[in-house]
Amino acid sequence: MADTILINGHIWTASQSAPEVEALAIVQNRIVKTGTSSEIKRLAGPGTRVLDLQGRLVLPGFIDAHTHFLNGGLALRSVRLRDCRSREEFVSRIAAKARELPAGSWILNGDWDHEQFSPPVLPTREWIDAVTPDHPVCVNRFDGHMVLVNSLALKLAGIDRKTVAPEGGEIVRDPKTGEPTGILKDAAADLVYAVIPAPSLEEKKEAVRIALKEAAVHGVTSIHDMSDASSFEVYQELLSAGQLTARLYVYIQIPEIDSFLRLKIKSGFGHPFLRLAGLKGFVDGSLGSSTALFFEPYSDNPRAYGLLASHMFPEGIMEQRLRQADRAGLQVAIHAIGDRANAILLDMMEKIFAENGPRDRRWRIEHCQHLRRADIDRYGRLGLVASVQPYHAIDDGCWAERKIGPERARTTYAFKSLQQAGAVLVFGSDWTVAPLDPLTGIYAAVTRRTLDDKNPGGWIPEEKITLEEAIRSYTIRAAYAEFSEKEKGSLEPGKLADLVVLDRDLFRIEPEEILKTGVVLTMVDGRIVHSSPDFIFDEKQK
């Protein structure tokens, strides 16, 4: 007899053999049968939990292929600046947070976006110094590649007009005085990060619990976390306590490769709820921070081409580490946003693949945002996973052409082209850079309708993909990207019972309605981790 059955639904399985069924049965943590409601009801016994879907859509549990999960939980507890539209609002929220915290406490995170200001101008320390005399401030732009710090934070970090920026970073200075403005880009922010007290283990555990609740509410059952070794300790603690309610596939920063090599760890090592994925590296920065690396200068700053990230220094170290990773059988996920950054990375990968010969690598490039046409084809030829975040397209699309011009924008967020070239297209959020909600990502990929509503037919509409393809990129393809497609990513007999139930059928509504859709049930490992109280009922009690 089944432990749980779901009946009377529209279950989209992502399976080629039976793409749509009415019902399914679960024993313990696995799906044992799919079919019609009458077939599945025969597996119900006295102790079976029966969930009547009442026609609702069921999908495989969403797999978010790119998050910063612990930081996301910490950010939910911090000052929120993402929707600030003016200097006054920005300053007011930081002032309010300063009033909440004891003197000496750091004000962190924020996720601000200066492109939403009118006019879009970078904030400076002068904005916030007066309201934070006793609180050091380090609030990041939402892409994580630029921070604003106040004068107290600069003092604590020992940064002044004579400080030389580290390789891969920039200290933005007042052109008249040479004094730091408070904006630090990429590696320059590390100078301040070094003096910020680390949160305690208990604080980190609580942040992850908050993040797990956020994931469950949005139907996210598996998470690819672009993390570090210290986060892995937190996840292990929660795993031991039985408190992980989503599966974590964790990437460690590539400078830590020696730890993998010494222990001879292979990608995928671990527990069904917590596995070591491999190595995460950076080639460049971000478009919004003008640190994404391009062949041609930025249209709004002809002197700027972007920056190589600190992981690229000393020269040649990235290629050396990639070669070591390949020989050790490790998966890598490397951040590349600008067209030159992507070309540099593709050159390295192509060279290493030729040297070491073919194998099932499933190497990933993260973001893949701005590409030359010839490099799109190389993604397919090399069999790479293109790990993209579709929400960025409808966010950056509001202002990207101002920074790189319309010609380069034609191959920006080239989802359909990458797919047609043979790359494995997988979707994630980049949370907290973008919302954790996969439905917003699906909406973005299907409509490409920018957040400012200036592109109702879609920004670069030829790069739209179908609803089915978008869902596959959040499910079975994302499972493939973590070598787990035989275990999850589709709703088939023998696979893990990770699934999500929606209150609207995405296949029967207009694309614009996707954003109005909600999650009424999230199941992980056969256990319900989120539900709407008015949805679930047991037929035995009727």
The beta strands (E) that lie in 81-179 are given as 107-112, 137-141, 146-149, 169-173
Count H helices, E strands: the chain? 18, 25
Per-residue model confidence (pLDDT) at position 542: 36
d(CA 189, CA 276): 27
Cβ count near 321 (within 10 Å)? 22
What is the DSSP code (8-state) at residue 401? H
Pairing of the two strands 146-149 and 180-186: antiparallel
- Structure tokens of 428? 């994630």
Element (H, E) at 63: strand 62-67
> What phi and psi values does residue 220 have, to the nearest 5 degrees?
-85, 115
Q: What is the three-class DSSP state of 284?
A: strand
Given CA atoms 439, 444, 450, 453 in this order, what sign does their dihedral have? negative
What is the DSSP code (8-state) at residue 184? E
Terminal C-alpha separation, the chain:
20
Sheet of strand 23-27: strand arrangement: 30-35, 23-27, 4-7, 49-52
d(CA 355, CA 360): 15
Q: Which residues of the chain carry a pLDDT beneath 50?
A: 540-542
> What phi and psi values does residue 279 have, to the nearest 5 degrees?
-120, 135
Per-residue model confidence (pLDDT) at position 538: 52
- Structure tokens of 327? 């020989």
Per-residue model confidence (pLDDT) at position 541: 36
Given CA atoms 90, 125, 292, 406 in this order, what sign does their dihedral have? positive
| Residue 27: C-alpha distances to residues 32, 141, 476 (Å) | 6, 46, 21
How many CA atoms are closer than 13 Å to the CA of 308, on its beta-carbon side? 13
Single-letter residue type at 13: T
Residue-wise pLDDT for 51-79, tens only, equals 999 999 999 999 999 999 999 999 888 99
As to burial, measured by CB atoms within 10 angstroms (0-12 exposed, 13-18 middle, 19+ buried), residue 388 is buried
**Is residue 311 a contact partner of residue 254, using CB atoms and an 8 Å limit?**
yes
> What phi and psi values does residue 133 have, to the nearest 5 degrees?
-65, -25
d(CA 377, CA 58): 35
The beta strands (E) that lie in 187-340 are given as 220-226, 247-253, 269-271, 274-282, 331-336
**Is residue 307 a contact partner of residue 168, using CB atoms and an 8 Å limit?**
yes
d(CA 286, CA 299): 15
- Structure tokens of 325? 């990773």
pTM of this prediction exceeds 0.85: yes
Q: Give the chain's domains with CATH numbers.
A: 4-61+495-541 (2.30.40.10)
Given CA atoms 119, 74, 231, 273 in this order, what sign does their dihedral have? negative
Single-letter residue type at 48: T
Three-class HEC string of 500-515: EEECCCHHHCCHHHHH
d(CA 345, CA 86): 38
CA dihedral 229, 230, 234, 239 (to 10 degrees): 10
| Residue 252: C-alpha distances to residues 136, 267, 390, 482 (Å) | 29, 11, 24, 14
Angle at 76 between CA 73 and CA 79, to 5 degrees: 135
d(CA 300, CA 288): 11
As to burial, measured by CB atoms within 10 angstroms (0-12 exposed, 13-18 middle, 19+ buried), residue 239 is middle
Cβ count near 202 (within 10 Å)? 10
Per-residue model confidence (pLDDT) at position 535: 72
d(CA 338, CA 283): 9
Closest to 23 measured CA to CA, from 3, 52, 48, 64: 52
Closest to 123 measured CA to CA, from 98, 90, 100: 90
The beta strands (E) that lie in 301-443 are given as 331-336, 364-367, 385-388, 424-427
Per-residue model confidence (pLDDT) at position 77: 84
Given CA atoms 257, 263, 267, 273 in this order, what sign does their dihedral have? negative
Single-letter residue type at 400: A
What is the DSSP code (8-state) at residue 118? S
d(CA 166, CA 189): 9
